[in-house]
Amino acid sequence: MSTRLTVPKTYKLFIGGAFPRSESGRTFAVATPDGGFLANAAKASRKDARDAVSAAVAAGKGWAGATAYNRGQVLYRVAEILEGRRAQFVDEITAQTGATVAEARAEVDEAIDRWVWYAGWTDKFAQVAGNANPVAGPYFNISVPEPTGVVGIVAPQDSALLGFVSVVAPALVSGNTVVVIASERFPLSAISLAEVLATSDVPGGVVNVLTGSAAELAPWLASHPDVRALDLTGAGELDWVDLQIAAADTLTRIIPPQGGKDAAPPSLQRITSLTEIKTVWHPKSMV
């Protein structure tokens, strides 16, 4: 009787709704905690980063133009599919990180719950973050939050799934599109989540996932003129001052690195920090 060989999966990038290999052809091995081979992952290049930004720019108008209610329904659909693939994510987290099954289940459950929490804010945060301003004149003066645009993100490096969800979900609430550099140590769950996004109703290009070296990729996102905000939550091991300097040339806003086991706990501030306030004046009717 022959012995069946396993078929190791090669985890590719996620750009524009597709799963290409890196244009450089590079891959890197993802290891188990004891040093065993787990899978190959694509090692993104600066051209991959540029392609991802282009895809995010192209998707921006449609995603920002969708109604808040529709964005909420789309994001909730992601949570539904993630719930259905819960066992797969538990297995991946235990294999990558060495966590117990109970710990991995807790992380997946928290990631799903957090995604649902942010989905619920899509049609509510504007009422909290915006307002009607008092003015001395016959005018209405109204401030409303709008998406910033393309957000470059360095995901937490010591988290397989929860950290990734915690930085991506809030950026999508207001209509931003994202290019996210996944954890170099634990990249598999990020690409599996990209498969969830690809089979949900999230338009291609709204979320783009790069795997590989954050130190190599982050400077290109920081200096890219089409990246309007940079979330460096997971960039604690990088020289983020240099990234700030690079981002300053294009007036890119910065969310600085965050520490701790849960570096990006759910908060309304994570949503509003990636929005811009538009204020409009409208004359009151004199009739």
DSSP bridge partners of 277: 145
pLDDT tens column, 78-94: 999 999 999 999 999 99
- 155: in domain: yes
Query: For the residues 184-190, what does the mean pLDDT come to?
Result: 96
Q: What is the pLDDT of residue 287?
A: 54
Number of domains in the chain: 1
Q: What is the pLDDT of residue 74?
A: 97
Mean pLDDT of the chain: 93
Q: What is the pLDDT of residue 20?
A: 97
Confidence of residue 1 (pLDDT cuts 50, 70, 90): low
Please tell me the distance from the alpha carbon of residue 29 to that of residue 75, in angstroms, as a whole number: 31
- 121: in domain: yes
- 1: in domain: no
- 3: in domain: no
CB 152 within 8 A of CB 231: yes
For the cut 70, the answer to whether the pLDDT of residue 286 exceeds it is no
pLDDT tens column, 198-251: 999 999 999 999 999 999 999 999 999 999 999 999 998 788 889 989 999 888
Enumerate helices (H) and strands (E) in the chain, giving the number of each: 10, 11
- 5: in domain: no
Question: Domain with 33 in it: what CATH number?
Answer: 3.40.605.10
- 4: in domain: no
The token duo for 43 is 């090692």
- 59: in domain: yes
Secondary structure (3-state) at 223: helix
Number of neighbouring beta carbons within 10 Å of residue 127: 10
Query: For the residues 26-31, what does the mean pLDDT come to?
Result: 94
- Give the structural domain span for 258: 10-283
Host H or E run for residue 10: strand 10-11
pLDDT tens column, 146-174: 999 999 999 999 999 999 999 999 999 99
